[in-house]
Structure 1
Amino acid sequence: MNQQQFEKMKHGQGFIAALDQSGGSTPKALAAYGVPEDSYSGEDEMFDLVHKMRTRIITSPAFNSDQIIGAILFEQTMDREIEGKYTADYLADQGIVPFLKVDKGLADQTDGVQLMKPIDNLDETLRRANERNIFGTKMRSVIHEPNESGIKEVVKQQFEIGKQIIAAGLVPIIEPEVNIHSEGKEKAEEILKEEIRKHLDQLSEDENVMLKLTIPTEANTYKQLIDHPRVVRVVALSGGYDRDKANSLLKENDGLIASFSRALADDLNANQSDKEFNTALQNAVDSIHNASVNKK
């Protein structure tokens, strides 16, 4: 593990950019960026275009380590280059800590939750992540209802795979998202908090994780997790909230920083001039950074 990156992730004043849309969500991300599906043919062209989009974001002067402390990448992005360097190396040279999305999507809903699909060849992916100088990983499950048995299974699966990631020398971001539209959202968050705490208490002193959680209905619900000695950092997903709403809710939670995807890139468009693009990105970065470091 890179100790300098660990310290930046533990204490850095900023947020994590989520640039990890995978094959299933890439067409939607490109469409939001002003690149419709009928403008490319096949997956190869699609992934070329999304890498071009991500390269434009990452190389923008607005994408800076003073405000952005980490970035989450899709596997294809990890294997591609920016200005002659593998993406993680380019980010690290800019002082930004690189993470890799490792999950393979969600299983069908059972017991009010969606577990992760089996992660095939995880050991090989982790080996390659180490070769590419990745610091940590991210994997997502979704909780739709306050079903105790379902939430227990989500957390159990996340920590089991998380330990495999820790054993490979990487820091896992455990992401059990709670659906913002769930009628039982607040109750689900209470159950989730207790289940996560139980698993954190079972970790040894050399086992550390990060958490990526939906901004809670009750402010500071996750403060106990933020302060837990086995937690490097707790970050928040925007979860479908627009940027202004996500930022407003984030400000109410001490110690919680952003890890936004759509809320970061909402105002970006392929047809913008570089000046327009950089201005739009800077405005987004400024607002998300402010919400992450300046609390009410």
Structure 2
Amino acid sequence: MAQKSATFLAQAERMKTGKGFIAALDQSGGSTPKALKLYGVDEGSYSGDEEMYGEIHAMRSRIILAPDFTSEKVLGAILFERTMRAEVNGKPTAALLWEDRGIVPFLKIDKGLEDEANGVQMMKPMPELDALLADAVKFGIFGTKERSVIQEANADGIAAVVAQQFEVAKTVVAAGLVPIIEPEVNIHSATKAEAEVMLRDEILKQLNTLEDGQDVMLKLTIPTEANIYDVLADHPKVLRVVALSGGYSTDDACARLAQNGKMIASFSRALTEGLSKQQSDAEFNAALGGNIDKIYQASL
């Protein structure tokens, strides 16, 4: 195992023991128009991908530079690849997050989802993963995030999703980064509770195959049965278990999360709820600050 830098060790300690939550600022191509619409930017107000990504980067920059978006309540932030390669206030985004705000930077690395089979959606192939991970290291990224989706309690499907997630995770670890494994369970699934038991048991099996130095994080849907994932949070190979909001409103997601003592938030839509391009900076900062405080309190 290569020697870890002082920065990496400080970030790992922050992830393991820090108070707060991880902000998910990683909407990608498919979900960007929807995120912009919620922010008050309709598709007719930009032309083509470049202008669309310019709008979403402006939104993310406004969030990152807001007075309440600091290490006091925000532990980490998950970035989209374009955001990693872009700058905020003339500084590479990841460097600004860590050096100026004390927030640990992560990178979303998956390329989207395959069509549903066996009740799940696997990750699409990532042929350029090694090059992307090398770039992430250069940009000062601490960890990655990769998402699959579980639609129903299908044992074979869930086993396949978890096996694929851990295969990618080992590649990430070999590159010197910490993977966030995200097998999301659809909150609308008729068999959500059963799927979560299967998922917990499959993850536990895979965790027990990891070697020294192969530490991971987990990003999971807030479970139907509170604290079902405590056994994962207590595993020596797991730095932290974080929760996705999965379409719940901010208030609902926070209420559900607060019942799970060993999970903290990693919310995307719930973080940006009520934010609008048309708001004054004072209005925007007040709305964002309110969301940050709610999510922070639920993560304690």
Question: Same fold judged by TM-score > 0.5?
Answer: yes
Residue of structure 1 aligned with 2:203, choices 170, 192, 196 = 196
Counterparts of 2:255 and 2:176 in 1: how far apart (Å)?
35
Residue of structure 1 aligned with 2:64, choices 58, 64, 69 = 58
Counterparts of 2:52 and 2:247 in 1: how far apart (Å)?
24
Give the corresponding residue for 2:33: 27
Counterparts of 2:156 and 2:211 in 1: how far apart (Å)?
25
Q: Which amino acid aligns with 1:125?
A: L
Give the corresponding residue for 1:257: 264
Pairing 1:1-296 to 2, within 5 Å after superposition: 1=4, 2-93=8-99, 94-293=101-300
Q: Give 4+ residue runs of structure 1 displaced > 4 Å after superposition.
A: none
Q: Residue 34 of structure 1: SS of its match in structure 2?
A: coil
Q: Which amino acid aligns with 1:98?
A: P
Deviations 1:96-125 (A, max 9, x none): 000000000000000000000001200000
TM (norm. structure 2) is: 0.97
Q: Residue 177 of structure 1: SS of its match in structure 2?
A: strand
For this pair of structures, how many residues does the alignment match? 293
Deviations 1:80-105 (A, max 9, x none): 00111100000001110000000000
Counterparts of 1:91 and 1:7 in 2: how far apart (Å)?
17
Counterparts of 1:139 and 1:207 in 2: how far apart (Å)?
16
Q: Which amino acid aligns with 2:149?
A: V
CA shift for structure 1 position 269: 0.2
Structure 1, unaligned runs of 5 or more: none
Counterparts of 1:49 and 1:120 in 2: how far apart (Å)?
28
Q: Which amino acid aligns with 2:68?
A: A
Q: Residue 137 of structure 1: SS of its match in structure 2?
A: strand
Counterparts of 2:248 and 2:144 in 1: how far apart (Å)?
24
Counterparts of 1:96 and 1:255 in 2: how far apart (Å)?
21
Percent of pairs identical after alignment? 59
Counterparts of 1:108 and 1:13 in 2: how far apart (Å)?
37
Counterparts of 1:75 and 1:162 in 2: how far apart (Å)?
18
Q: Which amino acid aligns with 1:273?
A: S
Counterparts of 1:267 and 1:68 in 2: how far apart (Å)?
19
Q: Which amino acid aligns with 1:102?
A: I
CA shift for structure 1 position 205: 1.7
Q: Residue 219 of structure 2: SS of its match in structure 1?
A: strand
Counterparts of 2:233 and 2:213 in 1: how far apart (Å)?
17
Q: Residue 255 of structure 1: SS of its match in structure 2?
A: coil
Q: Which amino acid aligns with 2:14?
A: K
Counterparts of 1:26 and 1:217 in 2: how far apart (Å)?
29
Counterparts of 1:153 and 1:62 in 2: how far apart (Å)?
40
Q: Which amino acid aligns with 1:177?
A: E
Counterparts of 2:15 and 2:28 in 1: how far apart (Å)?
24
Q: Residue 13 of structure 1: SS of its match in structure 2?
A: coil
Counterparts of 1:197 and 1:256 in 2: how far apart (Å)?
16
Q: Which amino acid aligns with 1:32?
A: L
Deviations 1:233-290 (A, max 9, x none): 0000000110111000000001100000000001100000000000000000000000
Structure 2, unaligned runs of 5 or more: none
Deviations 1:22-54 (A, max 9, x none): 011111111100000000000001111110000
